[in-house]
Chains A and B, each alone.
Chain A
Amino acid sequence: QITLKESGPTLVKPTQTLTLTCTFSGFSLSTGGVGVGWIRQPPGKALEWLGVIYWDNDKRYSPSLKSRLTITKDTSKNQVVLTLTNMDPVDTATYYCAHSSTSMDPTYAFDIWGQGTMVTVSS
């Protein structure tokens, strides 16, 4: 059974750096075709794709956040870390991590999601 869970601060100040950890179980991020993505959702708004990291350490980022966003993995700890610098109130959102794999689906849809963690940016 695949599970993912996000953890990190619930409140950050403007200009600070956000670090969120996605801890997962039930799969390995060293297995070919596997990816873990990050998606966020401001209150009452739509989902926004942030980026993804793959088993081979290939990383893809949203162009709108590319200068501020870093995604890394620690395969031995079954964790993926999101770092977003220079936080602003518009970054207030629920942040989700999610699993994808080409073992069943060649299109890399997100088949399992974490519960999400709400991050508020305010001084």
Chain B
Amino acid sequence: NAGVMQNPRHLVRRRGQEARLRCSPMKGHSHVYWYRQLPEEGLKFMVYLQKENIIDESGMPKERFSAEFPKEGPSILRIQQVVRGDSAAYFCASSQTPGENTEAFFGQGTRLTVV
């Protein structure tokens, strides 16, 4: 009964390259959330997805960032043309039902370093 799986754990990209972060939710969970943690900061909500749908992307930067959660396969957070400021830990969480009275289970995160 695996938990939320994120890969890779560490990702190094040069400025201008693309970064792809993957998240497989817990079995039976159809709600996925992406968070970003900058140094010395708490986790900041980025996007909430259900299968094939983006429910809330209010925390996503308007440019270069996109997310998907296809019918088959993991959720992907994609960052195009990365810049140094994108360096952070990106965490994915999943839950069985949205919001109320349920906790989200987190993956171990992907640490993105832009050089």
A and B interact physically = no
| A interface residue numbers (CB < 8 A to B) | none
